[in-house]
């Protein structure tokens, strides 16, 4: 059973949806591609559609790529909002059934796929401009920023059970164009700074970014389903923003220490008080100390 179509407004940008569908079909057979001009949240909409299938154990969970030029109620991790504006950001969700051996590190694998597609590492890792902040953020390196970088994008992964199956919805938000200046008197704090894809390439656009990441993302999800996070560990390490840095962890586990990378299950390793602690994402929040 394929997802029913939305009632889309006419998109304002040329997204090449048919070309995307052709490229993605070999990786995700049965996929549908939808582009709408305005939506509350692509993740919310795909989750709602899946829940409408109820607990039918024989439901055909067809993959779906849903793109919104503008999200009015976009969500990030831990309930944070994600503001998007037409042309200034890329917001989309990819839903597909998955049954991996283990789930730990899925957001990290997604981050690797996105970063490698947008910022290929042709030479040494030191040449990377995009970094990954555990567990679900893409940052742009910036030596002048207090934390050594600024946030460029985020990932939100949610799942829903349908009978014995599970549908995964991978939401992605990427800043594409420079941020508009807030109106006088407006308060729009950005604790992690603001970065956009046009700092990497002045010609960057939301459709071009989607075309760059869609197939690598789908391939990474299938690879994760087969082998978990371990095949992505080295690639994540090459872009690890936290490794060797002073961090503070809050949430289920509260500690201050030094990040020592991630393990094969995607857990963050933090050395504090002479011991190495494993931090799993869950409700954990990690703050990065300012660069001296």
Which range of residues forms the domain containing residue 115? 17-241
Structure tokens at 62: 């067809």
Q: Nearest Cα to 262, choosing from 285, 246, 278?
A: 278
Kindly write down the DSSP assignment for every residue of 122-156, as one continuous string: -S-GGG--EEEETTTEEEEE-TTSTTSEEEEEEEE
In a domain, 3, yes or no: no
Is residue 15's pLDDT more than 90?
yes
Answer yes or no: do 234 and 280 share one domain.
Answer: no
Q: The domain spanning residue 108 has which CATH number?
A: 3.30.930.10
Whether 167 and 147 have beta carbons less than 8 Å apart is answered as no
Residue 180 has pLDDT above 90, yes or no: no
Query: What CATH number did the domain enclosing 278 receive?
Result: 2.30.30.100
Predicted confidence (pLDDT) per residue in 132-160, tens digit: 999 999 999 999 998 889 999 999 999 99
Kindly state the DSSP code that residue 2 receives in the 8-state scheme: P
Identify whether residues 292 and 158 lie together within a single domain.
no
CB 152 within 8 A of CB 175: yes
**Confidence band of 72 (pLDDT split at 50, 70, 90):** confident
Of 200, 218, 241, which one is at a domain's C-terminal end?
241
Query: Based on the domain organization, do 272 and 250 belong to the same domain?
Result: yes
Q: Are residues 147 and 25 in the same domain?
A: yes
Q: Do 50 and 188 share a domain, yes or no?
A: yes
Is the pLDDT score of 277 beyond 90? yes
- Residue 62 placed within a domain: yes
Give the distance from CA 257 to its chain's centroid.
Answer: 26
Tokens of 23: 């490229």
Residue 91: in which H helix or E strand, if any? strand 89-97
pTM of the model: 0.90
- Using pLDDT thresholds of 50, 70 and 90, give the confidence band for residue 7: very low
Average pLDDT score over residue span 10-22? 84
Residue 10: inside a domain: no
Residue 6: inside a domain: no
pLDDT value of position 3: 40
Judge whether 12 lies within some domain.
Answer: no
pLDDT confidence bin for 127, thresholds 50/70/90 = confident
Q: Is residue 183 domain-shared with residue 292, that is, in the same domain?
A: no
Cis peptide before 135 (omega within 30 of 0): yes
Residues 236 and 218 in one domain: yes
Residues 283 and 264 in one domain: yes
**In a shared domain, residues 165 and 128:** yes
- Which two tokens mark 198? 């046009």
- Considering the domain boundaries, does residue 108 fall inside one? yes
Task: Report, as an integer, the average pLDDT of 19-43.
Answer: 95
**For the chain, percent of residues with pLDDT exceeding 70:** 84
Distances (CA, A) of 260 to 206, 239, 277: 34, 13, 10
Check if the beta carbon of residue 248 is closer than 8 Å to that of residue 286: yes
Same domain, yes or no: 229 and 279: no
**pLDDT digit string (tens) for 252-275?**
778 899 999 999 999 999 999 899
d(CA 218, CA 202): 26
**Number of domains observed in the structure of the chain:** 2
3-state secondary structure of 261: strand
The reported pLDDT for the residue numbered 87 is 75
> CA 66, 68, 72, 78 torsion: positive or negative?
positive
pLDDT of residue 289: 76
């Amino acid at each position: 059973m394929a997802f029913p179509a939305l009632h889309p407004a006419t998109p304002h940008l040329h997204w090449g949806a048919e070309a995307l569908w052709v490229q993605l079909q070999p990786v995700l057979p049965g996929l549908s591609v939808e582009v709408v001009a305005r939506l509350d949240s692509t993740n919310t909409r795909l989750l709602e559609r899946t829940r409408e299938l109820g607990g039918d154990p024989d439901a055909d969970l067809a993959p779906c790529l849903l793109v919104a030029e503008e999200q009015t109620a976009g969500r990030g991790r831990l309930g944070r909002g994600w503001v998007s504006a037409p042309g200034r950001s890329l917001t989309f969700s990819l839903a597909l059934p998955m049954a991996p051996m283990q789930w730990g590190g899925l957001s990290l694998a997604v981050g690797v796929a996105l970063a490698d597609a947008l910022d290929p590492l042709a030479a040494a890792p030191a040449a990377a401009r995009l970094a990954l902040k555990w567990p679900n953020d893409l940052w742009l390196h910036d030596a002048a920023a207090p934390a050594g970088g600024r946030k460029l994008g985020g990932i939100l992964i949610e799942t829903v059970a349908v009978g014995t199956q599970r549908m995964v919805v991978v939401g992605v938000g990427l800043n594409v164009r420079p941020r508009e200046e807030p109106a006088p008197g407006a308060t729009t704090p950005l604790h992690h700074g603001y970065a956009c894809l046009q700092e990497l390439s002045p010609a960057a656009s939301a459709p071009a970014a989607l075309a760059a990441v869609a197939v690598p993302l789908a391939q990474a999800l299938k690879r994760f389903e087969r082998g978990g996070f371990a095949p992505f560990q080295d690639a994540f390490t090459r872009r690890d923003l936290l490794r060797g840095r002073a961090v503070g962890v809050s949430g289920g586990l509260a500690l201050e220490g030094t990040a020592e990378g991630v393990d094969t299950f995607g857990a963050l390793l933090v050395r504090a008080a002479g011991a190495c602690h494993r931090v799993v994402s869950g409700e954990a929040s990690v703050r990065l100390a300012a660069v001296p």
